[in-house]
Amino acid sequence: MDTIHGTPASPGIALGPAVLFKKAKVEIVRRRLEEADIEPEMARFKAAIEASRGQLEALAERTAKEAGEAEAAIFQAHLMFLDDPAIVETVEDRVRSQRRNAEAVVAEVTAEQAAALAALPHAYLAERAADVRDVGDRIVRNLVGVGGGPAGAGVAGAAGEEADPASASPGILFAHDLAPSDTAQLDRRLVLAFVTEVGGPTSHTAIMARSLGIPAVVGTGDVLARVREGMAAAIDGDAGSVVLGPDEAASRGFERRRQEATARREGLRRLRDLPAVTTDGRAIELAANVGHPREAAPALEYGPTGVGLYRTEFLFLDRDTLPDEDEQYEAYRAVAEAFGRYPVIIRTLDIGGDKEVPALGLPRESNPFLGWRALRISLQRRDLFETQLRAMWRAAAHGNILVMFPMVATIGEIRQAKAALRAAREGLVAEGKTVGAKLPAGIMVETPAAAVAADILAKEVDFFSLGTNDLIQYTLAVDRVNEKVAYLYDPFNPAVLRLIDKTVDAAHRAGIWCGMCGEMAGLAAAAPFLVGIGLDELSMSPPSVPLVKEAIRGMSAREAGRLARQALDCESGEEVRELLKSLPTGREG
């Protein structure tokens, strides 16, 4: 029995024979073209582009149906590469001027583009590099006639070579890496789970696995050297572990947990329309984090009672021009209307740090998380800020919208932001435009300065929302995207807990509510502490809503309060975790 640990990427338990993922190897033959071959070669290239387009459109449609619009968006991005002059025109130029065959040139050009993107120090752009490689691979496959999809058990080729379900049996797929398009093509009847040697939990592949409901473990290191085709395997997608050749006792344990997990998921579905109320009657709002209007409808399936964080910067990424006031208005209005009477908290632009907006051409900085980001940019680029605030005021006429400012460190920033908010309304009214009657304003508490001085800042705002993703990195001095120091990044560290407690306390003393929209809000294990110190709202990735609701509905707020006080006196994160486990959170289902 061989146990391997990786990163949990998609929850669930699976047992079955190992299936090694084989991407049909494409032989690229390099040819020199005669003058007479050039036009036919161009036609062949164009036909391959069109074939790729057809496959990607079909994939987008299928993914939208099975996993939702948000997951299908990746293929829209791939489709855009098919029209990108940096790829298409460069290939055409080289085929003509260098008289080389299209597949050789496509492979070369897309590899160059991907390498250029991967060299940029931003996770977001590195992901785009994988997308360019994926698209290049598809065009080459269409040129050489092996189809645009990968081969291997459980994978349906997008070019039509469906894997024969009768000849293939269900198994656990092992791969070095899976491109998002490989993942979208996995046949859920055949792929019980997958394991990859590389990758992180926030890659598109991991996100897609979660939406497709396929358990997954990523970043296991050299698992392919240890697994053989057909050997028994088991994975725990919650713990991030993989067992090769489990003995009988281990197999029985996995099977029992698999059945329990299935029953639990079914049970959670029944919680969808029930409130998040503790056994002694304290209600907590559970809201969803969204980044795009297309995410609103799928999010509602999990039963959130609002949007606690609408990350507007996603409207600005991945494009060469900025969205104008009307486009932003439509995007904000769409989410507000989808959520009806429920509150939708729209955060003003939070760029900088690890989020880059190509259209703004921001200068590179040596400490971007401590630099010109978020509200600091908005207060200096007044054109951007005013456009966004005007769009929010107009959208507020169609729903229950609140505005939230990110990365606040001083009271002066809040005052300036609120003055801009008032001025935006006055401007619209003077122009005779329809605006919302009110637009309550809050701040993210995500700098230690804001948490420590929360009593001062609370007087200026209508609500707080704790941004723990940043609060943890600034409190513990741990860059949130640096895996070398990731072991120190701990939401349960008592220093972090004390700042959270201080913030909630200051909010309540000032008579305002306090929520949390960092990833910590979606940790069921943290719920006893968060409920215990009195958070009013928790906003999280939508699939976490039922899990956190289940924990809340099973606990007593009084008991949680007692435990939370003890947690604040613990010496370490480990001690806090152990302590919080002692609170009964009776499960329903």
| Minimum gap (Å) between residue 482 Cβ and Mg ion | 16
Give the H or E element holding residue 258. Answer: helix 248-269
467 binds ligand PEP (CB under 6 A): yes
290 interface partner picked from Mg ion, ligand PEP, none, CB below 5 to 8 A per type: none
Residue 149's φ and ψ, nearest 5 degrees, are -110, 165
470 binds Mg ion (CB under 5 A): yes
What DSSP string runs through 462-484?
A: SEEEE-HHHHHHHHHT--TT-GG
Nearer to ligand PEP, 219 or 467 (CB): 467
Residue selected from 470, 479, 501, 536 as contacting ligand PEP according to rule CB under 6 A: 470
467 binds Mg ion (CB under 5 A): yes
515 binds Mg ion (CB under 5 A): no
| Minimum gap (Å) between residue 357 Cβ and Mg ion | 16
Which range, of 65-73, 357-365, 380-388, 463-471, touches ligand PEP by CB under 6 A?
A: 463-471
* Residue 172 to residues 167, 216, 225, 247, 260, Cα–Cα distance (Å): 16, 9, 16, 17, 20
Residue 480's φ and ψ, nearest 5 degrees, are -70, -10
468 interface partner picked from Mg ion, ligand PEP, none, CB below 5 to 8 A per type: ligand PEP
* Residue 14 to residues 9, 252, 261, 320, 323, Cα–Cα distance (Å): 14, 12, 10, 43, 44
313 binds Mg ion (CB under 5 A): no
Nearer to ligand PEP, 80 or 317 (CB): 317
517 interface partner picked from ligand PEP, Mg ion, none, CB below 5 to 8 A per type: ligand PEP
Residue selected from 10, 348, 468, 556 as contacting ligand PEP according to rule CB under 6 A: 468
Count the neighbouring beta carbons within 10 Å of the beta carbon of residue 103: 26
Which range, of 133-141, 165-173, 414-422, 467-475, touches ligand PEP by CB under 6 A?
A: 467-475
Out of 5, 78, 176, 204, pick the active-site residue. 204
| Range 308-347, binding ligand PEP (CB under 6 A) | 309, 311
| Minimum gap (Å) between residue 417 Cβ and ligand PEP | 17
Is the separation of the CB atoms in 343 and 290 below 8 Å?
no
How far is residue 253 CA from its own chain's centroid?
Answer: 31
How many residues make contact with ligand PEP (CB under 6 A)?
A: 10
SS3 string, 549-567, reads HHHHHCCCHHHHHHHHHHH
Nearer to Mg ion, 474 or 492 (CB): 474
Which range, of 63-71, 261-269, 390-398, 462-470, touches ligand PEP by CB under 6 A?
A: 462-470
| Minimum gap (Å) between residue 296 Cβ and ligand PEP | 18
Nearer to Mg ion, 56 or 520 (CB): 520
Residue span 269-308 as binding mask against ligand PEP, x where in contact by CB under 6 A, dash where not:
----------------------------------------
CA–CA dist 433, 359 (Å, integer): 28
Active site residue 517: yes
Q: Say which amino acid occupies 539.
A: S
Residue selected from 446, 490, 550, 559 as contacting ligand PEP according to rule CB under 6 A: 446
Count the neighbouring beta carbons within 10 Å of the beta carbon of residue 221: 12
Which range, of 56-64, 242-250, 468-476, 485-493, touches ligand PEP by CB under 6 A?
A: 468-476
211 interface partner picked from ligand PEP, Mg ion, none, CB below 5 to 8 A per type: none
442 binds ligand PEP (CB under 6 A): no
CA–CA dist 77, 393 (Å, integer): 30
| Range 500-559, binding ligand PEP (CB under 6 A) | 517-518
The number of CA neighbours under 13 Å toward the Cβ of 291 is 13
Residue selected from 76, 469, 541, 566 as contacting ligand PEP according to rule CB under 6 A: 469
| Minimum gap (Å) between residue 309 Cβ and ligand PEP | 6
Name the 3-class secondary structure at 589: coil
Nearer to ligand PEP, 38 or 525 (CB): 525
Closest C-alpha to 4, from 195, 175, 201: 195
SS3 string, 325-354, reads HHHHHHHHHHHHHHCCCCEEEEECCCCECC
CA–CA dist 94, 338 (Å, integer): 48
Considering only CA atoms, give the Rg of the chain.
26
H-only helix segments in 339-410: 375-380, 382-395
356 interface partner picked from Mg ion, ligand PEP, none, CB below 5 to 8 A per type: none
Residue span 439-458 as binding mask against Mg ion, x where in contact by CB under 5 A, dash where not:
-------x------------
The strand pair at 13-20 and 232-236 is best described as: antiparallel
Nearer to Mg ion, 118 or 379 (CB): 379
320-348 burial, b at 16+ Cβ within 10 Å, e below that, comes to: eeebeeeebbebbbbbbebbeebbbbbbb
Residue 356's φ and ψ, nearest 5 degrees, are -110, 140
Question: Cα dihedral angle (228, 234, 236, 240), rounded to 10 degrees?
Answer: -20
Nearer to Mg ion, 139 or 351 (CB): 351
Nearer to Mg ion, 129 or 351 (CB): 351
356 binds Mg ion (CB under 5 A): no
Nearer to Mg ion, 18 or 374 (CB): 374
How far is residue 373 CA from its own chain's centroid?
Answer: 20
Out of 78, 514, 517, 570, pick the active-site residue. 517
311 interface partner picked from ligand PEP, Mg ion, none, CB below 5 to 8 A per type: ligand PEP
413 interface partner picked from ligand PEP, Mg ion, none, CB below 5 to 8 A per type: none
Strands (E), 150-220: 171-175, 191-196, 216-218
Active site residue 514: no
Residue span 130-149 as binding mask against Mg ion, x where in contact by CB under 5 A, dash where not:
--------------------
Nearer to Mg ion, 62 or 122 (CB): 122
CA–CA dist 533, 575 (Å, integer): 18
Give the H or E element holding residue 139. Answer: helix 123-144
Active site residues: 204, 517
**Residues engaged in binding ligand PEP (CB under 6 A):** 309, 311, 350, 446, 467-470, 517-518
